Amino acid sequence: MQHPRSTTRRDQSWLSLVWETGGAAERMLLVAFLVGMAFLVVPLVIVLFWLRDPLSQSGWFAMGEGIAITGSSWIIVYPTVADGMHTSRFYRAALERGREIPPNDREYVVEWATVKEKLGVSGQFPNAVRFAYLYLLLYVGMWCFCLAFVILFYPILTDWTVPSFALIAIPLYAILWLHSRARSKTLINKATLRGLPLTEVLARQNWWPRPPLYPLL
């Protein structure tokens, strides 16, 4: 019979699990992540209420397209930011307490936690938190830059505003993706040299090198 307290622990939220299993650096990163996500609404509030509708209807469509480009980069940014908050203890606790991890991802999560223990310090890769801060800062910064770019340049560039923004944003996101992939590949190669089977797990699941996408928020 399951103990009543175990149900509470299995229902533990992602936030509390990160806080419980992380060290001081991971907890500060979690706070920065929450502040950064909350800050995303500030530029919109300024645009809507302080600047008092500075764009035409077509300008707002351009704004929406720019936000879509910026928001879609989260799939590139998230793995690095999340992995900076997730120590090996987090992954093992998430598995133990029933976090929603697809069966085909569980094996990879287990092996990634093992690699963090073997190659990292206190269950965390060197510089993982620093890279997470960098990716988070660039994401929030590009969000603000997108709004400012459209407001300032739409009267001049009109229909070329979004393509011009994309010429700046997409190469940056491509660089982040390539860096994240190269860093993960380096870690996986180091794990292989240590005799850890992460490469085999990755090959069976036909994924590119990356931190686990689960558990999600």
| One-character DSSP codes across 186-209 | HHHHHHHHTT-THHHHHHHHT--S
Q: What is the pLDDT of residues 71-123, one digit of tens each?
A: 999 999 999 999 999 999 999 998 887 666 777 778 888 889 999 999 999 99
3 state DSSP class of 148: helix
C-alpha to C-alpha distances, 107 to 70, 82, 203, nearest whole angstrom: 32, 18, 12
216 located within any domain = no
Query: Is the model's pLDDT at 137 over the cut of 90?
Result: yes
Query: Is the model's pLDDT at 1 over the cut of 70?
Result: no
Between CA 172 and CA 175 the distance in angstroms is 5
Q: Are 84 and 129 in contact (CB under 8 A)?
A: yes
174 located within any domain = yes
47 located within any domain = yes
pLDDT attached to residue 99 = 62
214 located within any domain = no
pLDDT band for position 70 (50/70/90)?
very high
Q: Are 135 and 143 in contact (CB under 8 A)?
A: no
217 located within any domain = no
212 located within any domain = no
215 located within any domain = no
Structure-token pair, residue 182: 């190269």
Query: Is the model's pLDDT at 203 over the cut of 90?
Result: no
Q: Domain limits at 80?
A: 4-205
Record the pTM: 0.86
Count of domains for the chain:
1
Q: Are 100 and 27 in contact (CB under 8 A)?
A: no
